């Protein structure tokens, strides 16, 4: 058996399939006329990964997905699938399938015909086709729905049919463009679990486009955060959340308090850009003792947002700055929360929970007690 260090170059590694990324994007740029949709995207996605492209509307996620699928040609840069350069290869010759937000099911066909469509196009014999359709429907918990029309299904069932149709070809890579976008919150959460199960069970690489940070954090092995056509950061959910690379990532993924300029000098003791998550801050009495090295500032509670399980306190700490604090309502009720309005309070948090924000590399936490 070959050890990794015995393998000299990329070519040899790829020849036996070790470490070859499922998807490799290099310097990918796409312009539509004057509009730059994405610019210089480079990314390796490992085989079997659940990888999310997360970012606000218009940041270039769908364009990136369409370039991987082959529906668009890049202005420059390359796309490799399992080591093969497919930049100029048409979509139907790529070993990928796409699930769209609107499912794109054929309304006049039954569930069975929808799911078996691509096998029919490829002239797979009828009996083999029927067996594969039945097996795929069963695996998506759609047994017994074969002769229904899409209009006779719920949103979640339709989504599962779309998934079944994409999975029947056993693609090595599945591209999912906001596949849960049309579902209500409850169903969305249910389907998230199912997606993850399908991905784990089938061992397929999933590339998942979403603008929903909770969804990306809950599902992904790794996430690429997109902002204005560029990747701001790639990392595991906890890296993205705990160590955001840029103020953009800190603001887009989870709530965050940005501390800079005079406020940073007062609290941290140096000017710079820092970030503290609202759930890391504790509210105590103004006169309460503060542990040595903790960060602290006194402010006035301006606003209270009661959310059932949690309460958000908006605390003004200077004439033009507020910090948000999130507390779990372990014992507190809405009435207790409202009683804090206009009170003077002290905010305290551990110094090593404060992130120093640079640009490009993960934020570093301040040393405790420094
Ligand atoms: P959303 O979450 O809203 O789908 P997105 O992050 O997927 O957004 P893209 O659809 O990739 O963003 O679009 C990126 C940019 O490229 C946007 O400014 C968009 O207007 C532009 N764009 C995308 N497709 C085209 C096109 N066919 N012609 C012109 N501009 C386009």
Taking only the tens place, the pLDDT of each residue in 220-246 is 999 999 999 999 999 999 999 988 888
d(CA 97, CA 69): 7
Ligand 1: residue of 32, 65, 223, 231 to mutate (most ligand atoms within 8 A of CB) is 32
Taking only the tens place, the pLDDT of each residue in 271-287 is 888 999 999 999 999 99
pTM (predicted TM-score): 0.83
282-284 and 295-306 strand pairing: unpaired
For the CA atoms of 201, 205, 209, 210, the dihedral, rounded to the nearest 10 degrees, stands at 40
pLDDT score recorded for residue 218: 92
Nearest CA to ligand 1 atom 27: 32
The alpha carbon of 38 and the centre of ligand 1 are apart by a number of angstroms equal to 9
Q: What is the DSSP letter of 242?
A: H
In the chain, what are the domains? 10-244 (3.40.50.300), 255-365 (2.40.50.140)
Whether residue 251 has its Cβ less than 6 Å from ligand 1: no
Taking only the tens place, the pLDDT of each residue in 129-173 is 999 999 999 888 888 899 999 999 988 888 889 989 988 988 899
The alpha carbon of 37 and the centre of ligand 1 are apart by a number of angstroms equal to 6
The alpha carbon of 142 and the centre of ligand 1 are apart by a number of angstroms equal to 34
Tell me the pLDDT band of 179, cut-offs 50, 70 and 90.
confident
Mean pLDDT (whole number) for 354-359: 78
Whether residue 311 has its Cβ less than 6 Å from ligand 1: no
The alpha carbon of 176 and the centre of ligand 1 are apart by a number of angstroms equal to 16
Whether residue 63 has its Cβ less than 6 Å from ligand 1: yes
Could you tell me which of 169, 143, 168 has the C-alpha nearest to residue 157? 143
Whether residue 61 has its Cβ less than 6 Å from ligand 1: yes
Whether residue 331 has its Cβ less than 6 Å from ligand 1: no
Q: Which atom of ligand 1 is nearest to the CA of 66?
A: 11
Q: E strands of 109-196, at which residues?
A: 173-177
- Chain centre to alpha carbon of residue 153: 28
Burial bucket for residue 366 (CB in 10 Å: 0-12, 13-18, 19+): buried
CB-side exposure of 294: number of CA atoms within 13 Å?
Answer: 16
Q: What is the DSSP letter of 92?
A: G
Whether residue 35 has its Cβ less than 6 Å from ligand 1: yes
Which backbone phi and psi does 251 adopt, to 5 degrees?
-80, -30
Alpha carbon separation from 335 to 53, 237, 303, 316 (Å, rounded):
41, 35, 14, 21
Whether residue 106 has its Cβ less than 6 Å from ligand 1: no
Which backbone phi and psi does 299 adopt, to 5 degrees?
-155, -175
Whether residue 54 has its Cβ less than 6 Å from ligand 1: no
């Amino acid at each position: 058996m070959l050890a990794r260090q015995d393998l000299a170059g990329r070519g040899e590694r790829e020849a036996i399939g070790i470490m070859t990324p499922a998807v490799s994007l290099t310097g990918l740029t796409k312009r539509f006329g004057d509009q730059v949709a994405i610019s210089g995207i480079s990314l390796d996605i490992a085989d079997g990964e659940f990888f999310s492209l997360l970012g606000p509307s218009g940041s270039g996620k769908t364009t990136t997905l369409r370039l991987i699928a082959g529906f668009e040609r890049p202005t420059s840069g390359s796309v490799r699938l399992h080591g093969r350069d497919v930049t100029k290869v048409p979509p139907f010759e790529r070993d990928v399938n796409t699930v769209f937000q609107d499912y794109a099911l054929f309304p006049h066909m039954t569930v069975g015909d929808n799911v078996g469509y691509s096998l029919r196009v490829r002239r797979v014999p009828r009996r083999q086709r029927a067996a594969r359709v039945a097996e795929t429907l069963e695996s998506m918990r759609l047994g017994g729905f074969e002769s229904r029309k899409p209009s006779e299904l719920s949103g979640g069932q339709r989504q599962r049919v779309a998934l079944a149709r994409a999975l029947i070809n056993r693609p090595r890579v599945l591209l999912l463009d906001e596949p849960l976008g049309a579902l209500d919150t409850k169903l969305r959460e249910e389907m998230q679990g199912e997606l993850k199960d399908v991905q784990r069970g089938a061992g397929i690489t999933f590339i998942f486009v979403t603008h929903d940070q909770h969804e990306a954090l809950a599902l992904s092995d790794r996430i690429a955060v997109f902002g204005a056509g560029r990747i701001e950061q790639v990392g595991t959910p906890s890296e993205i959340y705990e160590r955001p690379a840029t103020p953009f990532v800190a603001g887009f993924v989870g709530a965050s308090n940005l501390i800079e300029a005079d406020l940073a000098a007062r609290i941290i003791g140096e000017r710079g850009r820092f970030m503290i998550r609202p759930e890391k801050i504790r509210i105590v009495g103004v006169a309460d003792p503060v542990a040595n090295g903790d960060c602290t500032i006194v402010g006035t509670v301006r606003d209270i947002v009661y959310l059932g399980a949690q309460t958000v306190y908006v605390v003004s700490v200077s004439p033009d700055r507020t910090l948000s604090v999130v507390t779990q309502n372990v014992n507190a009720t809405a009435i207790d929360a409202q009683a804090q309005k206009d009170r003077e309070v002290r905010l305290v948090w551990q110094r090593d929970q404060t992130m120093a924000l640079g640009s490009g590399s993960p934020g570093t936490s301040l040393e405790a007690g420094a």
